């Protein structure tokens, strides 16, 4: 089986990393890193084979369905084509792959996928940016749609997100609550001037697309960049960094079966309730040097895992070969219950997709025929 390694591409606008299958160079010895003494190695174990071609590149923000299905965007050709590639549901039970393509919806043009999530029933919801042009209008304008899909990959229904009267809101992240409402995050600016400074937001929206409550993460409480989306007379944030954390690739979310949303923001794990209240669960520091969080999902009842890898920056002298690591935390206390690293024989992985339990993780890979396979990684 071919050796594979992780190469991350920063995609435009959202800075979402993608993972490319490629030939791996000879592995370096494990570099000195800040890791817990109880770190255990994960080894490839059972593999599930599919008859569909393997990915060439995979968008790193993967979602996991309640029955163990994997929802992922990947391309069979190149990372450039990720934008137009469908979301695919990989079923481990039926060994099937279902596609959820970008739809054609009457009245809207140029749909572009921003984010997606799966609810507690396994229903897929996708956030799209689109151009809307009503009869009599001379110019199209941007709107944001939430599209609900049927199980077979066709569209069930859709609705538009409301916009505050004095701001232009551009959501980039969608997370489902168990009650059907959404945690949305992204950027905004005052609509009285295209040159106004950009702020970032998180907020609760309901199933009609209406804004219900602003959300302020504990890490950035009091920050101008987390200003409320409520009407403020057009005042924009006073200052903003070029790449706010909420817009970065390391901003990860997970809608848990307990009805709450978990947010990993700048190494801090917050829990958001459906009413918009936020509590800090714990600091979730990277388990190794030069590692960044790539994926976060449930790891069995009451647990959550974060997968960490090295994001290559292309800096001179950079050594990109790092052993990927996983942290498992208790959802109630936020305490770390297990830390794993990929063993030296784990050469066929791309990125951790989902977890069956706190010690059983599934990765997307390719077999000797370059077909898709899903591999379980477990400690020995």
Q: What is the pLDDT along the chain (380 residues), one digit of tens a residue?
A: 333 333 333 233 334 445 444 333 333 333 333 444 589 999 999 999 999 999 888 887 899 999 899 999 998 876 667 888 999 999 999 999 999 999 999 989 999 999 999 999 999 999 999 998 776 666 667 899 999 999 999 999 999 999 887 788 899 999 999 889 999 999 888 776 666 778 888 999 999 999 999 898 865 544 444 445 554 333 333 333 434 566 666 789 999 988 999 999 888 899 999 999 998 778 889 998 889 899 999 999 999 999 998 876 666 655 556 678 999 999 988 899 999 998 866 555 567 899 999 999 999 998 889 999 999 999 98
Helix (H) or strand (E) holding 165: none
How many Cβ atoms sit within 10 Å of the Cβ of residue 135? 5
Scanning the structure block, which residue is given the tokens 């393509």?
A: 101
What global pTM score does this model have?
A: 0.83
CATH number of the 8-27+35-379 domain: 2.120.10.30
Rounded CA gap, 134 and 209, in Å? 19
Nearest to 320 by CA among 8, 3, 2: 8
């Amino acid at each position: 089986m071919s050796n594979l390694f992780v190469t991350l591409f920063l995609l435009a606008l959202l800075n979402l990393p993608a993972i490319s299958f490629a030939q791996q160079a000879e592995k370096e010895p494990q570099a000195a890193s800040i890791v817990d003494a109880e770190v255990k190695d994960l080894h490839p174990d059972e593999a599930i084979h599919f008859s569909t071609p393997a990915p060439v590149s995979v968008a790193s923000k993967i979602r996991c369905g309640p029955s163990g299905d994997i929802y992922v965007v990947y391309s069979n050709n190149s990372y450039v084509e990720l934008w137009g590639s469908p979301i695919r549901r990989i079923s481990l039970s039926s060994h099937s792959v279902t596609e959820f393509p970008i739809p054609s919806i009457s009245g809207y043009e140029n749909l572009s996928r921003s984010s997606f999530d799966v609810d507690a029933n396994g229903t897929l919801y996708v956030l799209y940016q689109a151009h809307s042009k009503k009869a009599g209008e001379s110019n199209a304008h941007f709107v944001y749609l939430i599209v609900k899909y049927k199980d077979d990959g066709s569209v069930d229904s859709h609705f538009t997100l409301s916009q505050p009267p004095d701001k232009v809101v551009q959501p980039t992240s969608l997370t489902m609550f168990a009650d059907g409402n959404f945690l949305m995050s992204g950027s905004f600016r005052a609509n009285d001037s295209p040159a106004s400074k950009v702020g970032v937001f998180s907020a609760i929206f309901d199933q009609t697309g209406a804004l219900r409550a602003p959300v302020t993460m504990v890490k950035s409480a009091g920050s101008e960049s987390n200003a409320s989306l409520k009407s403020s007379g057009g005042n924009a944030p006073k200052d903003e960094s070029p790449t706010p954390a909420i817009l970065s690739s390391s901003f990860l979310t997970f809608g848990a079966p307990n009805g709450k949303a978990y947010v990993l923001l700048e190494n801090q794990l917050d829990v958001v309730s459906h009413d918009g209240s936020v509590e800090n669960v714990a600091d979730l520091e990277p388990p190794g040097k030069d590692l960044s969080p790539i994926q976060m999902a449930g790891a069995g009842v009451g647990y959550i895992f974060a997968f960490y890898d090295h994001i290559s920056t292309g800096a001179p002298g950079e050594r990109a070969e790092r052993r990927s690591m996983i942290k498992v935390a208790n959802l109630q206390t936020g305490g770390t219950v297990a830390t794993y690293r990929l063993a030296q024989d784990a050469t066929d992985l791309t990125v951790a997709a989902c977890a069956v339990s706190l010690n059983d993780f599934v990765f997307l890979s390719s077999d000797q025929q370059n077909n898709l396979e899903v591999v379980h990684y477990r400690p020995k």
